Chain A
Amino acid sequence: MISLIIIFLGAILLLFLGLNKSEKGSRFGSLLILSIAFSTTILEIVSIIKKLDLGKLGQQYQSFISDGSVSSMIFFSNASLLISAVLIFGTFLVLLLMPAEDRLGADLPAIVLFSLCGALILTAYTHLLMLFLGIEIMSIPLYVLAGSRKNDLRSNEAALKYFLMGAFSTAIFLLGCVLVYASSEGYLNLYEIRNASGNSLLIDHVMGNKLKIAGYLLLCSAMLFKAGAVPFHFWAPDVYQGSPNRGTLFMSTVPKVASIFAMLNLFVVFFGANQNSIFWLIVISSGASILLGNIAALRQTDAKRMLAYSSIAHSGYMLFAVVGNKYDSGFIALFIYAIAYILSASILFFVLDKLKNSDGTTSIEAFSKISKNNSEIVFAVVIALLSMAGIPITAGFIGKYSLFNTISSSHIFLLIVALVGSAIGIAYYFGIFKAMFYGNKISSQGEGSIRFSGAERVVLLLISLTILALGIIPNLLTGFLI
């Protein structure tokens, strides 16, 4: 809660102070704000750590109900705190690694911070209106972010497309809210909806149930849209490709994780046993995202578009946390996977940003440029790709393993789809290896290699070593919690 306030006030401050300041200053300022927010979140986590029981995260909501404090609209549970730390850290990485492409001064960092505020609200809502506000606060800055390369047609297209589609999904979400409201004796507070009998005064039981299911379906669709999962993914490749690299990295990590965590809360905790009837939608969406994302990524020649499709597939994997329908194991799996995914995506997008052509595109072959005299960078990219592909001794494997484990007893078919998807994933991630290690054999003269500064090397190396460390000793992350 405190970190949310810090970030929000900080972002406003940044806008005021940064009017005439350089991009560099505001970036520094935003990093400062984020580090303060991150440390307060960590402090909050530390303060609860003795009481923290990862096996009983879901029960916290139960006891909250019995406390009688149902009227509150926002509640930072232990799980929310943990995932907020991840989100703030992810945003920190985005702002740390990615230089802005245009001279927008303080606007861009501030926009990213505002969007993060929305994402943080998404982790802590207990009220449908709060959920709606969270989604909007998170999304509206993203539309701006997508269009922030003013002179680039593709960026304009991305912004327009994202905005229009986003507006539709908002409308769908609101309609879902209305139906749920109507079917549950007129509640918007999620605890009350959960406990509502469905015997509304206005409509009979059967009709009420139908309305409720329809409402859940619409809510679910809108959330899947935010997560970029199939069949609501059509915006994702174009928007990801058109946005500036910083925006793409942010969009494909923080809002995605936040919305999937929001889904976990909504469907597993709040809707509880009521949601079985629409569960198939999440299952199908998850399987289809994995297959479609991976297969489409296989066909791409542009590295950024490839990562865009692969992020659709990653949404599919992360949805397993919801599909498993067990709050605690699902949350831990999502938590680990999100960290692994954010770390490796930052490395890849940073390198990709360095390699981009003048028109903002990056072909996969361009990765051959880093293979000379950049052994640290090559190492970092190799680790990031291995982690993305979910190969053992990287954090990505631990995340995938945990996610697979949440569904392996209930949805064996989905597990097989996921394994097939991972196998396809290897093919395109390894296309980059091919470019890095083999590409320079063909064109050894090249157009000259890319230079990385010392600090950049150190940061990338640190991130990749973190991925490795989490893969080799996963208890670093969860050990102190359990």
Chain B
Amino acid sequence: MELLLLPLLTGILICLWKNPIYKYLALGSAAVCLAITAGMIPQIMSGETIININLKWFSTIKFAMQMDGLSLMLCLLSQIVILGLFLFYFNQDHKNNNILWGLALLMQVGLNGVFMARDAMMFYIFWEVTLIPIYFIVLKWGEGENIAYVSNRFFIFTFIGSLFMLASILYLASKSSYSFLYTDLVAVSLTEKESIWVALGLLLGFGVKIPIFPLHTWQASTYTQAPNFGSILLSAIMLKMGLYGLLKWLLPLVPESFFVLQPYFLVLCSVGVLYGAYLAFTHTDLKKIIAYSSLSHVNMIALAIFTQSSIAAKGAGLQMFAHGINIMALFWIVQIIEHSAQTRNIFALGGIATQAKKLAVVFMVVMLASIAVPLTNGFPGEFLMLKGIFDKNAIIAVLVGLSVIFSAVYMLRAYQHTMFGTASGGIYLFQDVKIIQMLAFAICIVLILWAGIQPQALLDIFEKTVIQILNTVEETRGIVS
């Protein structure tokens, strides 16, 4: 409950009250949220359910909240990302900075709500609540030329997706006498035909946000034209909502459809993995490279979830966390480069390593993590996912395994062109990482190495929940077949 109220109140306060101390308030609120979330880890590990709220909200909708391992891991991620954002941008003011920060806090409310909700309508409501602040962040603070078009397209895409999700939820609920509780909806059994339609509706909602392969067209332009602040919110935590939705809601709600749909999903996601990697390789805009590499990574996570194997799902969980941290750091690096060099074209850049040694080191670590080199956080997740996919279908595993090589190619290419050699786009004075930014980077690097060296610690948080979810799926499928 504090996780919702604290950011909400702080967010409203700093939107309204433009006082120099608002930054400390925001930082404080984010830090307290992180502390509260981290404080729940021991209890979760010992198998307790921490928050267990079930209040009547409106007609049959319940305000039902619960924290389990998977929710905790994602809440933790969103708390870290919000805190990191505030730290990194502490000395870099946007226009109307207090409102921007306030919107970020409101988004945090939505994110925490989505991860904790155990009532489908609550889930939907918080899902939309995250969308409103990010829409205004992209529209108002975006830098591109046709930002109005891009942000409206982004909103319409995601909103249509979630409307289909709503239709599916309403249909499911009409089978359980309009109770939207998670447990009640899981208990609903559908015929195969019904469940295919319901699954497709849900998938549209989640898939647009992730984005899964044919639904990704909004992504690159939104990431590039949004302010970096917004791109980080979008890519580091918002798309995790979609992946979380697949694992926590889609699989247990409509297991009946999976005999039919699974092959198609697997193929779509593998296409997405390879296509994203290919696009990342062809582009020269740093932000686009990151956007497409992200497309490739998250499609891999979705693929792993669709295999329904517990090993792959564990890997997916690890990778969700890792991807959030890595992409945030990557966007920060882009921010610093763009700030000094006024360009993001990797061919116009060069020789940054000679002027900004700290940045070069940070970029190196983050890049290696993004390629999934052992001892960084990218490796364990990727390994487990590929293992799980391989057990399911060796050919797909080999194909998507290629993306690991691709990612090495495009990331190294980006690194080489920006950091080494000489700049072809004119000479500029490069500002290295500032102290407070270094603090933010330090958090990321610590997390990267910690999750790389001791992944089991992170895995322990959500392992039980994931296995539990997959068991439920297995049971329901057993009944059906």
Give CA–CA (A312, B195) in the complex, Å. 34
Whether a CB of chain B sits under 8 angstroms from the CB of A392 is: yes
Interface residues on B, range: 20 to 34
Q: Could you tell me the distance in whole angstroms from the C-beta of B265 to the nearest C-beta in chain A?
A: 22
Give CA–CA (A474, B163) in the complex, Å. 21
| Residue among B132, B140, B160, B166 making CB contact with A386, cutoff 8 Å | B132
Residues of A within 8 A of B159 (CB): 391, 423, 426
CB-defined interface of A399-440 with B at 8 Å, one 1/0 digit per residue? 001101100110010011001101100110011011001100
Contact B152 A434 (CB under 8 A): yes
Contact A422 B163 (CB under 8 A): yes
Q: Could you tell me the distance in whole angstroms from the C-beta of A29 to the nearest C-beta in chain B?
A: 37
Residues of A within 8 A of B178 (CB): 405
| Residue among A422, A430, A478 making CB contact with B58, cutoff 8 Å | A478
Give CA–CA (A231, B373) in the complex, Å. 64
| Residue among B126, B128, B147 making CB contact with A391, cutoff 8 Å | B128
Residues of A within 8 A of B167 (CB): 415-416, 419
Contact A474 B171 (CB under 8 A): no
Whether a CB of chain A sits under 8 angstroms from the CB of B170 is: yes
CB-defined interface of A432-463 with B at 8 Å, one 1/0 digit per residue? 01100110000000000000000000000000
Whether a CB of chain A sits under 8 angstroms from the CB of B188 is: no
Contact B124 A392 (CB under 8 A): yes
Give CA–CA (A439, B152) in the complex, Å. 14
Give CA–CA (A474, B61) in the complex, Å. 11
Residues of A within 8 A of B125 (CB): 392-393, 397
Q: Considering only CB atoms, which chain A residue lies closest to B128 in the complex? A: A392
| Residue among B59, B121, B139, B170 making CB contact with A437, cutoff 8 Å | B139
Give CA–CA (A380, B134) in the complex, Å. 19
Whether a CB of chain A sits under 8 angstroms from the CB of B148 is: yes
By secondary structure, the A interface counts as: helix
Contact B156 A427 (CB under 8 A): yes
Contact B166 A438 (CB under 8 A): no
Whether a CB of chain A sits under 8 angstroms from the CB of B155 is: yes
Contact B148 A419 (CB under 8 A): no
| Residue among A397, A415, A423, A426 making CB contact with B170, cutoff 8 Å | A415
Give CA–CA (A408, B124) in the complex, Å. 17
Contact A426 B155 (CB under 8 A): yes
Residues of B within 8 A of A434 (CB): 139, 148, 152
Give CA–CA (A412, B170) in the complex, Å. 10
Q: Considering only CB atoms, which chain B residue lies closest to A482 in the complex? A: B59
Give CA–CA (A398, B125) in the complex, Å. 10
| Residue among A386, A408, A474 making CB contact with B57, cutoff 8 Å | A474
Whether a CB of chain A sits under 8 angstroms from the CB of B129 is: yes
CB-defined interface of B440-451 with A at 8 Å, one 1/0 digit per residue? 000000000000
Residues of B within 8 A of A409 (CB): 174
Residues of B within 8 A of A478 (CB): 58-59
Q: Could you tell me the distance in whole angstroms from the C-beta of A392 to the nearest C-beta in chain B?
A: 4
| Residue among B126, B128, B174 making CB contact with A408, cutoff 8 Å | B174
Residues of A within 8 A of B58 (CB): 398, 474-475, 478
Q: Considering only CB atoms, which chain B residue lies closest to A433 in the complex? A: B139
Give CA–CA (A427, B126) in the complex, Å. 21
Contact A438 B163 (CB under 8 A): no
- Most central of B58, B166, B173, B174 by chain A CB within 10 Å: B58
Q: Could you tell me the distance in whole angstroms from the C-beta of B315 to the nearest C-beta in chain A?
A: 33
Contact B155 A430 (CB under 8 A): yes
Q: Considering only CB atoms, which chain B residue lies closest to A409 in the complex? A: B174
Residues of B within 8 A of A475 (CB): 56-58
Give the 3 A-B residue pairs with the shortest CB-CB distance, closest first: A474-B58, A392-B125, A438-B148
A sample of 11 more A-B contacts (CB under 8 A), given A419-B166, A420-B163, A430-B156, is A393-B125, A416-B167, A423-B159, A427-B152, A430-B152, A431-B152, A433-B139, A437-B139, A438-B139, A438-B148, A475-B56
22 A-B residue pairs with Cβ-Cβ distance under 8 Å, sorted by A, are A386-B132, A392-B124, A392-B126, A392-B129, A402-B59, A404-B170, A409-B174, A423-B160, A423-B163, A426-B156, A427-B152, A427-B156, A431-B152, A433-B139, A433-B152, A437-B136, A437-B139, A437-B140, A438-B139, A438-B147, A478-B58, A478-B59
